[in-house]
Amino acid sequence: MRRVVVTGLGLISPLGSDHGEVWQSILRGDSAVQKLSHLRAEKFNTQYGYPIDSYDPKTYIKSVKKLRMMSRGDSMCYAASMLAMEDAGLAKGSIAGQRFGLYVGGSKEVDTPPNDMVEAIAEPSVQSISDFVMKIKDNVHPLFFVKGLPASSMFYISEELDLRGANCYYMGTANVSAVAIGNAARAVAMGEADAALAGGFADPLTWWNYLKVDGMGVLNREDGEGQRYYRPFDKQRKGALLGEGSTMLVVEELEHALARGAKIYGEIVGYGNGMDCDNIVKPSEEGIGLQTAMKKALSHSNLSADEINYVCAHGSATKTGDESEARAIASIFAAGTTAISSIKPTVGHQFSNAGAFNAYASLMAIQSGKLPHTLHLSSANPAWKVDFIVEQPRDTSVNAVMSLARGLNGENTALIFKALA
């Protein structure tokens, strides 16, 4: 098997798009949380989240026609991909298109319905589904279906960069972008590609997407100002707060990267998946699926558990989610050797981008020798026997990091990154 490294990072996040500055913000404990004023937040159960106010897709996408055919999530994924390529020092055509892959994880199912479609529901003449169809049929854009295709971001990225190699789109929740990275690394390791763009995107803060999650009971519904606090692993945790964004990595075969003098952020040495089958929205009490994913990743990496310096945890801040994750981590890692934290209180739970953003943070921990703390964590359950990083970052030598991601429907993914030796 060929060795696979990460040579480029690109992100659009609530804390910005410069990956170095975003990392410093995370280490400072900055939080991008705010009231979701664009959604008329008072009408929802959870009124706070992590929108990206500064993002202007026109900065990255010059074609008005192309931009009109992209959802917000599509455009963020496109932008993050261009930033990752720039960071990697790779121009279009520098690697043959047939040898360059693209792997993306997202939660897009259709595009957000346009206003005229929604307004038609309120028309007095609309008394049935048939009435609704007749009312809107002449107003729906003929390419509405095409714009809503889940994997359409892959077309626009491939078109721009002439990527014609191995590819796959993974649709789901919080682990799919980590799956995209793991499978991209696997494709490069097996010789199917020399390099690949891999990661994910999420735009859960459009009214259409937010409506579907707000009623599930997994978001923080505290009264008053308490609702703005995302508290993973804390005894007072009440649920997640959603964020939007995209994170894309350039993964590349090691010798290829060395030959062109690329900067190497770290090596991808471990990848594993596991499934919980107990409940479609609640993990098993002991996190059996997560344990399986972590064990597979460790086996793949040929590293022992005590060689992992840091676990970048998922941290959903739900009662059962954090309980099962902490138990799973404690079953494998000793508190004296492996530190744990979640970065979600700084950028929110980015849904299908969560796994890729954790991967980014894991690589930055290796590069900087600094482990971020979990914001708002003041009182964890001592029975968990887990070494949580609290109050401030921890300076240490970081050789190997495990990055975790957990999906709503029982899917669990673990990635291991290692400093290049």
**Domain 4-111+148-418 grouped into CATH 3.40.47.10:** yes
Domain boundaries, the chain: 4-111+148-418, 115-146
pLDDT score recorded for residue 42: 82
Looking at residue 95, its pLDDT comes to 96
pLDDT at site 119? 67
pLDDT for 110 equals 74
3-class SS letters over the chain: CCCEEEEEEEEEECCECCHHHHHHHHHHCCCCCEECHHHCHHHCCCCEEECCCCCCHHHCCCCHHHHHCCCHHHHHHHHHHHHHHHHHCCCCCCCCHHHEEEEEEECCCCCCCCHHHHHHHCCCCCCCHHHHHHHHCCCCCCCHHHHCCCCHHHHHHHHHHCCCCCEEEEECCCCHHHHHHHHHHHHHHCCCCCEEEEEEEECCCCHHHHHHHHCCCCECCCCHHHHHCCCCCCCCCCCECEECEEEEEEEEEHHHHHHCCCCCCEEEEEEEEEECCCCCCCCCCCCHHHHHHHHHHHHHHCCCHHHCCEEECCCCCCHHHHHHHHHHHHHHCCCCCCEEECCHHHHCECHHHHHHHHHHHHHHHHHHCEECCCCCCCCCCHHHCCEECCCCCEECCCCEEEEEEECCCCEEEEEEEECCC
pLDDT by 10s per residue, the chain, length 421:
899 999 999 999 999 999 999 999 999 999 999 999 888 878 889 999 999 998 999 999 999 999 999 999 999 999 999 999 999 999 999 999 999 999 999 999 877 776 666 666 667 777 787 877 777 776 677 788 888 899 999 999 999 999 999 999 999 999 999 999 999 999 999 999 999 999 999 999 988 889 889 888 899 998 777 778 999 999 999 999 999 999 999 999 999 999 999 999 999 999 999 999 877 778 889 999 999 999 999 999 999 999 999 999 999 999 999 999 999 999 999 887 899 999 999 999 999 999 999 999 999 999 999 999 999 999 999 999 999 999 999 999 999 999 999 998 899 999 999 999 8
The reported pLDDT for the residue numbered 145 is 82
